């Protein structure tokens, strides 16, 4: 299951319902909006991991950020802390508010949903993406073990493998080597 599927099915669909209710959208429109925002977030996360500091920050955030509460309890998405966490996540992965605005604008063009709504939704979706990664990676331990080669038998959830496998060849080894080459 990929990040998008994990988000859309979180809480039996309660996350989508909570987002829809919060923004006055239908569940279909909320799903469509999330579907447009998640790829940009995952692309930003993936790009951020090409730097050893970015990769370390991601592992640390997954391990210590308690983001999984946003997928386990959808009501958490609408509290101020979720928006603050989401904006911090977006700041790390996009680097500027201009990128977030461009993501929202592109999603607006593709969905017909107002870009103002999508700008406000983006931090919530970012927290759900991190929550999905956290929940499905044993709090970061599965990701860290996989990246260091230890405890392979525990495996890494398919979602994380898909996340790191930027060339979609089914292996993250070549992708991690390419990331490492960029560092030297």
User: If you average pLDDT over residues 148-177, what whole number do you get?
Assistant: 49
Query: Would you place residue 137 in the very low, low, confident or very high pLDDT band (cuts 50, 70, 90)?
Result: low
Say which range, 5-14, 69-78, 99-108, 149-158, has the weakest mean pLDDT.
149-158
Q: What is residue 9's predicted lDDT score, i.e. its pLDDT?
A: 80
Q: What is residue 79's predicted lDDT score, i.e. its pLDDT?
A: 86
Q: What is residue 175's predicted lDDT score, i.e. its pLDDT?
A: 54
What's the CA gap between 178 and 62, in Å, rounded?
22
Q: What is residue 149's predicted lDDT score, i.e. its pLDDT?
A: 41
What's the CA gap between 159 and 137, in Å, rounded?
9
167 Cβ contact list (under 8 Å, min separation 6): 174, 175
Say which range, 5-9, 78-82, 104-108, 165-169, has the weakest mean pLDDT.
165-169
Q: What is residue 115's predicted lDDT score, i.e. its pLDDT?
A: 95
Highest mean pLDDT among 17-26, 149-158, 159-168: 17-26
Residue 29 reports pLDDT greater than 90: yes
Query: Would you place residue 145 in the very low, low, confident or very high pLDDT band (cuts 50, 70, 90)?
Result: very low
Task: Give tens-digit pLDDT for 65-120.
Answer: 677 788 888 888 888 988 999 998 898 888 888 999 999 999 999 999 999 999 99
Q: What is residue 108's predicted lDDT score, i.e. its pLDDT?
A: 95
Residue spans of the domains in the chain: they are 3-183
The DSSP string of the chain is --HHHHHHHGGGGHHHHHHHHHHT--HHHHHHHHHHHHHHHHHHHHHHTTSHHHHHHHHHHHHHS-TTHHHH-GGGGGSHHHHHHHHHHHHHHH-SHHHHHHHHHHHHHHH---HHHHHHHHHHHHHHHHHHHHHTTGGGHHHHHHHHT--GGG---HHHHHHH-TT-SS-SHHHHHHHHHHH-
Residue 131 reports pLDDT greater than 90: no
Residue 128 reports pLDDT greater than 80: yes
């Amino acid at each position: 299951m990929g990040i998008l599927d994990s988000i859309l099915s979180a809480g039996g669909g309660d996350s989508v319902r909570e987002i829809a209710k919060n923004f006055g959208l239908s569940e279909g429109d909320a799903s469509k909006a999330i579907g447009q925002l998640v790829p940009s977030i995952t692309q930003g996360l993936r790009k951020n991991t090409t730097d050893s500091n970015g990769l370390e920050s991601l592992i640390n955030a997954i391990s210590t950020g308690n983001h999984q509460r946003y997928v386990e309890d959808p009501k958490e998405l609408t509290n101020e802390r979720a928006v603050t966490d989401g904006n911090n996540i977006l700041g790390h992965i996009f680097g500027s508010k201009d990128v977030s605005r461009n993501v929202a604008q592109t999603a607006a063009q593709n969905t017909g949903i107002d870009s103002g709504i999508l700008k406000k939704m983006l931090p919530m979706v970012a927290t759900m993406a991190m929550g999905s990664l956290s929940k499905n990676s044993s709090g970061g331990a599965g990701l860290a073990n996989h990246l260091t080669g230890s405890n392979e038998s525990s495996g890494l959830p398919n979602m994380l493998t898909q996340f790191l496998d930027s060339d979609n060849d089914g292996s993250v080894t070549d992708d991690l080597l390419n990331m490492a080459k960029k560092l030297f």
